[in-house]
Structure 1
């Protein structure tokens, strides 16, 4: 059904071609053999406690390995990915050379459809937005869809790669490529940027640097370097409780950022040496960063980790190095204070800004919604609520887009 939305816009100037994702059977056989031979580490006091503050437990890892080997069906998840129009496009960049770029899309037949680019973060992929795309494909036809929905694999993530490795993939370069993608798809007159996690940083950067980005919506927002913490007086008890939880997490859950950001070569090589190592490293985040009342199933976790393994994503995708080097504790993150901003705050995200603070810090805020459910992976955890916010925000800013 979703493949009805595969007709490219008239003004496309690039060379996107349809793409079907298929992992060769030999790679799946290799994966299963590596997993079978991967050793569960010895029992220790820490890994027997079942305390998420200590990381994944030995018992959970052993059960997950057994399920991964015996009953997990990768082809089922691969088929779901291929339900949607997928494309590859070659992008030329002055620094990076040729980038073999991937994106999924739902293209509208409406002349006044508003382009929206959705950008994932870590440890995520474009797959995070497929539940939302499924809802859209059931809700609209190509003739009624109000948007062009563009869902890329971030540069060096998933199904996007490049020929040359002479340059580091920085946030600046990634944002430039994202903007270039939208231009080559024919959206040079304007688009909306949306993102969470690293995607939220890219959306903010694109809002500040590219005129084609007319508005931006994020589902993660943090204080900029140099911004003073506003008063707590106007906050509700729930907001204060949420801030205390995120402050506690920042003291106990940020070790991975320092490792990714300061030793990306070591951690990339170590974690990509074994499927089991990758499952422990990413599985921890997929369990901890969600709403504790509605956690991912083991099948969901295994599918997301499998995608990282089967696309060799992890060692290529450690953008945290550029975040730490260029922005944390050094300079403000580029963010437009004029273009319309929308922010969806999900209660159990890792880093949040309460509404009174956002209103004080961002005079261009035109949409805010606080959700009592959902965590860091909002587009998977709460796809209906996530999409509803996007539709309301795009309606709010639709006056910036003129129909021809």
Structure 2
């Protein structure tokens, strides 16, 4: 089913984006399938015989994934990506020159539609939001959709560029590019920013730095240096349990942060050299960081990994950790600029690796108007529980709308 009706760019757009068609060449398919056959799976060890993820993915899982990848339908994947309107637009940036940015959009024909930008994290991509986009096209037509939905490949990821390679792309520059995307699309009267993981950092910064960002919603939030929690009530037992899991993750599950942040060139060479290496490195996160009672399918994991391989994303996607690694190494957490004035919404998922307890969140953010705690879902909330995720964001946006902020 085509959704081309949602691809009509509003007449008020400042710059017209170009329609984009995702294509996988026969050479890419041949090269990747050849590498599947040539790249060895690690020899059996005591560690990779374990199935509980304590030491990472098991050898059995890797063999099953490799075998299923050999049967992957690349052209069906290509068609699935192109099902929704894809675009590319060139953003002019003072540090990086002309930066091509990819995004998927569902544009509304309603005059009062609220623009929302949804931003993924690592090792994510715009693909995380496809189930959400499908729900929206089932619920609305272009004439009835109350929102303009913008889902970019964030800078350096997927089908977006990293910018001028003479300069390092940083976590402080990426929000500027995302904001400029919204400005070029004509949303200068205001928009809502939504994000998880790296995307939560971008959304938070956009709320603090740009007046056009009228509100923001996060599904990744934890206590930060400077939060005044002196008078906040203690977390509930359920919240305390999740926070203990978060401490365990910080101790045993965050080694990748230091490799990404301190030796991005080295790990970039390693992982980009083999699709099996890529599958092991990011596939572990798709398994370990999700709700263990509602796992992602192998097909979904292979689609996410295939996009990373075909777009050479991994070596380009490590820049956020250049900021994060030194802070974590010092035993602290990364402070993120966020507005404490503009309307803020937060959705907590039980298998996310960080949590901001409700009483703490209200203490630290007097602008928090929406706090929700869900009973399933993890790090990839939009992908794992698309209906819960979408309904949560839209409840927040309608609450913002009711306050007259977008009049």
The interval holding the TM-score normalised by the smaller chain is over 0.9
**Per-residue deviation, 1:356:** 1.1
- Contact 1:327-1:333 within 8 A present in 2 as well: no
Residue 351 of structure 2 aligns with which residue? 348
Check 1:230–1:41 CA distance in 2 against 1; reply closer, same or farther (3 A cut): farther
Residues 230 and 289 (structure 1 numbering): CA distance in 2 closer, same or farther, change over 3 Å? Answer: farther
The structure-2 alpha-carbon separation of the partners of 1:185 and 1:232, relative to structure 1 and needing over 3 Å to count, comes to closer
Contact 2:279 2:305 in 1 (8 A): yes
Distance 1:291 1:156 in 2: 27
Which residue pairs with 1:160 in the alignment? 160
* Residue number in structure 2 paired with 1:208: 208
Alignment of 1:1-400 (within 5 A): 1-69=2-70, 71-162=71-162, 164-227=164-227, 234-324=234-324, 329=332, 332-398=335-401, 399-400=403-404
Measure, in 2, the Cα distance between the counterparts of 1:24 and 1:112: 41
8 Å Cα contact 2:232-2:363 kept in structure 1: no
CA 1:14–1:125 in 2, change beyond 3 Å: closer, same or farther?
same
Q: State the shift of 1:321 in Å.
A: 3.1
1:319, CA displacement in angstroms? 2.5
Q: CA deviation at 1:123?
A: 0.5
Match of 2:90, SS?
strand
1:327 is displaced (CA, Å) by 5.7
Cα shift readout 1:314-361 (whole Å, capped 9, x = no counterpart): 000103333226865487321111011100001111111111111111
Contact preservation (8 Å) 1:2, 1:134: no
Q: C-alpha separation between the residues in 1 aligned to 2:86 and 2:304?
A: 18
CA distance in 2 between partners of 1:287 and 1:245 (Å): 16
Deviates more, 1:362-371 or 1:351-360: 351-360
Q: How big is each residue's C-alpha offset from its partner over 1:4-47, in whole Å with a ceiling of 9 and x where there is no partner?
A: 10111121111301111011111111011112100111111111
- 1:159·1:311 contact (CA, 8 Å) conserved in 2? yes
Change (3 A) 1:229 1:33: farther
CA shift, 1:400, in A, is: 4.4
How far apart, in 1, do the equivalents of 2:245 and 2:224 lie?
19
d(CA) in 1 for partners of 2:32, 2:334: 42
TM-score normalised over the length of structure 2: 0.95
In 2, Cα distance between equivalents of 1:164 and 1:225: 33
Report the 3-state secondary structure (helix = DSSP H, G, I; strand = E; otherwise coil) of the residue aligned with 1:293: coil
Q: Which moved more, 1:323-332 or 1:368-377?
A: 323-332
- C-alpha deviations, 1:257-283, integer Å up to 9, x for none? 111111111111100100000000011
> 1:372-398 CA deviation, whole Å, 9 max, x = no partner?
100010001110011101111001111
State how far apart, in whole Å, the 2-side matches of 1:276 and 1:375 are. 25
Q: Report the more deviating stretch, 326-335 or 114-123.
A: 326-335
Q: Deviations over 1:284-324 (max 9, x none)?
A: 00000000001011111111101100111100010333322
Unaligned runs of 5+ in 1: none
Deviation at 1:222, TM superposition (A): 1.5
- Equivalent pairs, count: 402
Distance 1:83 1:331, change over 3 A: closer
Does the CA contact (< 8 Å) of 1:261 and 1:318 recur in 2?
Answer: yes
Under a length normalisation based on structure 1, what TM-score does the superposition of the two structures give? 0.96
